Chain A
Amino acid sequence: MSTLASLTRATLAKDLRLEWRSKDAINSMLFFSLLVVVIFSFSFDPTAEESRRIAGGLVWVAFLFAAVVALNQTWARELRNQVLDAYRVSPAPPNALFLAKVIGNFIFVTVLQALMTPLFIVFYNLRALGPAYQLPIVAALGTWALVVNGTFFAAMSLRTRSREIMLPLLLFPISIPALLAMVEATGAILTGEFSAKFWIVLLAAYDVVFTIASLFLFGFVLQAE
């Protein structure tokens, strides 16, 4: 168990260090997120009343697009020199690699969200009429849902043609309940008209189910030739 934790930590540290060193990926993604927000703001220009209702949907679709861009490059460094073979040949637990990647992506996407959210608030004059403290909970649970399945499907896509389109193609249908929950919960909190509690519980259940499933099945996917 401690090998798992320490290897996860070491892998995560390595990934963060490498990301910090090159900074290309994160810079281009930050800019992409900015563009997404601006384009959405041009396309949907509702009144303050309406925008509170639809902001949930808008914001999460924008996050989803940004997340897919981040997820697509999850394994890029490992692919370059067939580094994955080195993992497969070693006795290292594959889940350490998986968890490190998921946590890394989670941090990544959260950073993107931290940039995009203030912009959305500004463009749409958003203000939460419901319990605002629930928003970070929804954000965290929702991001984990996208990132845990996204990292898993990114690994599956490595063995397919058209890798970059395969990831969203696999991710979107499976994420539908989570997306619905994220959008409804955000809408509920912003409008204050409903309670977001059911959706938060659903998101938590989704996260638990798919984190366990991914940990269980990642070894198979990694070993697939």
Chain B
Amino acid sequence: MSAEFAPSRLYAILGDNGAGKTTLLRVLAGLTPPTRGTISMLGATNLRSICSQLGYMAHPSLLYDEMSGMENLVYFTRLYDAQSDDQRCAEVIRAVKLDPSLTRPVGQYSQGMRQRMSLARALLNDPKILLLDEPFSNVDLRSAREMVSLLAGLRDSGKTIFVVTHQASLLEGAADEFVWMEAGQIVSRTPDLRPPDTRSETP
């Protein structure tokens, strides 16, 4: 597939299971090499060189179950920076509406809290590009809405955000573009939530 994306936009990536949405995100994150072709992000074709400006979040939480949220983030900042900045960690946790002083291990969080803490981890390095795979799955409606307004705010401050989701309606009003995928190809890109005409009807 061949596509171009503009900066400072919120893209919602939608499609059936197996359409290739997760693969697309993983390729952008540099986790899966593309079978053919090149990717250019932030002016670089070598993804490794700009990886400090990426934030990635997926369905598994990418956190250590045995540590508290704050401990997790304090550790993960070190992957980006030799010093760990406790202030920044607390800030980011508060930004996702969680309590930095919570000592409960992440393994005991509810799904919604875990997703939000995972998002906090993705935001730690203040990335220019955010890649979020199903951030709202199993999250209660209120928390999900709060996450969406957080993402819209981040987009307004200049970040480019890609969100893969099955709950497209959550992003209505916040997303700049809805990108529909099928069988590894982008079949339509629309500024509003409207399924593309070429989609075959599912029984």
Classify A-B as touching or not with yes or no (CB < 8 A): yes
User: Are B80's CB and A92's CB within 8 A?
Assistant: yes
Bound CA–CA A83/B58 (angstroms): 10
User: Are A89's CB and B64's CB within 8 A?
Assistant: no
User: Are B66's CB and A83's CB within 8 A?
Assistant: no
User: Are A10's CB and B78's CB within 8 A?
Assistant: yes
User: Are A14's CB and B51's CB within 8 A?
Assistant: no
Give the size category of B's interface with A. 20 to 34
- Please, what's the 1-or-0 string for A65-91, where 1 marks a CB less than 8 Å from any CB in chain B? 000000000000100111101111111
The B interface is mostly helix, strand or loop, or mixed, namely: loop
- Smallest distance from the beta carbon of B115 to chain A beta carbons, Å? 12
Contact among A3, A83, A85, A91 for B51, CB-based, below 8 A: A91
Bound CA–CA A209/B54 (angstroms): 36
Contact among A6, A7, A88 for B31, CB-based, below 8 A: A88
With a cutoff of 8 Å between Cβ atoms, the chain A residues found around residue B84 in the complex are: 10
With a cutoff of 8 Å between Cβ atoms, the chain A residues found around residue B121 in the complex are: 86
Bound CA–CA A90/B79 (angstroms): 6
User: Are B51's CB and A80's CB within 8 A?
Assistant: no
- Smallest distance from the beta carbon of A225 to chain B beta carbons, Å? 5
- Smallest distance from the beta carbon of A196 to chain B beta carbons, Å? 41
Given that A85-B31, A89-B30, A89-B56 are contacting pairs, would A7 and B66 also be in contact in the complex, using a CB cutoff of 8 Å? no
With a cutoff of 8 Å between Cβ atoms, the chain A residues found around residue B65 in the complex are: 77, 80-81
At the interface, yes or no: A161 with Cβ under 8 Å from chain B?
no
User: Are A81's CB and B67's CB within 8 A?
Assistant: no
User: Are B79's CB and A18's CB within 8 A?
Assistant: no
Contact among B48, B58, B67, B78 for A85, CB-based, below 8 A: B58
Bound CA–CA A90/B198 (angstroms): 38
Given that A89-B30, A91-B51 are contacting pairs, would A81 and B79 also be in contact in the complex, using a CB cutoff of 8 Å? no
With a cutoff of 8 Å between Cβ atoms, the chain A residues found around residue B30 in the complex are: 88-89
Contact among A3, A85, A86, A88 for B82, CB-based, below 8 A: A3
User: Are B66's CB and A81's CB within 8 A?
Assistant: no
- Smallest distance from the beta carbon of B18 to chain A beta carbons, Å? 18
Between A and B, 21 residue pairs with Cβ closer than 8 Å are A2-B82, A6-B78, A7-B79, A14-B64, A18-B66, A21-B66, A81-B64, A83-B62, A83-B63, A85-B56, A85-B62, A86-B121, A88-B31, A89-B51, A89-B56, A90-B76, A90-B80, A90-B125, A91-B48, A91-B51, A92-B79
Q: List residues 37-84 of chain A with CB under 8 A from any CB of chain B.
A: 77, 80-83
- Please, what's the 1-or-0 string for A1-40, where 1 marks a CB less than 8 Å from any CB in chain B? 0110011001100100010011000000000000000000
With a cutoff of 8 Å between Cβ atoms, the chain B residues found around residue A22 in the complex are: 66
- Please, what's the 1-or-0 string for B97-123, where 1 marks a CB less than 8 Å from any CB in chain A? 000000000000000000000000100
Contact among A6, A10, A85 for B75, CB-based, below 8 A: A10
User: Are A89's CB and B29's CB within 8 A?
Assistant: yes
User: Are A14's CB and B75's CB within 8 A?
Assistant: yes
At the interface, yes or no: B8 with Cβ under 8 Å from chain A?
no
With a cutoff of 8 Å between Cβ atoms, the chain A residues found around residue B31 in the complex are: 85, 88-89, 225
At the interface, yes or no: B188 with Cβ under 8 Å from chain A?
no
- Smallest distance from the beta carbon of A130 to chain B beta carbons, Å? 45
- Smallest distance from the beta carbon of B68 to chain A beta carbons, Å? 11
Given that A14-B75, A86-B76, A225-B31 are contacting pairs, would A77 and B64 also be in contact in the complex, using a CB cutoff of 8 Å? yes
Q: List residues 27-47 of chain B with CB under 8 A from any CB of chain A.
A: 29-33
With a cutoff of 8 Å between Cβ atoms, the chain B residues found around residue A85 in the complex are: 29, 31, 56, 58, 60, 62
- Smallest distance from the beta carbon of A172 to chain B beta carbons, Å? 31
**Chain B minimum-CB-distance residue to A80:** B65
Bound CA–CA A89/B80 (angstroms): 10
Q: Closest 9 CB pairs between A and B? A: A90-B79, A92-B79, A82-B60, A86-B62, A81-B60, A91-B52, A89-B56, A81-B61, A10-B78
With a cutoff of 8 Å between Cβ atoms, the chain A residues found around residue B48 in the complex are: 91
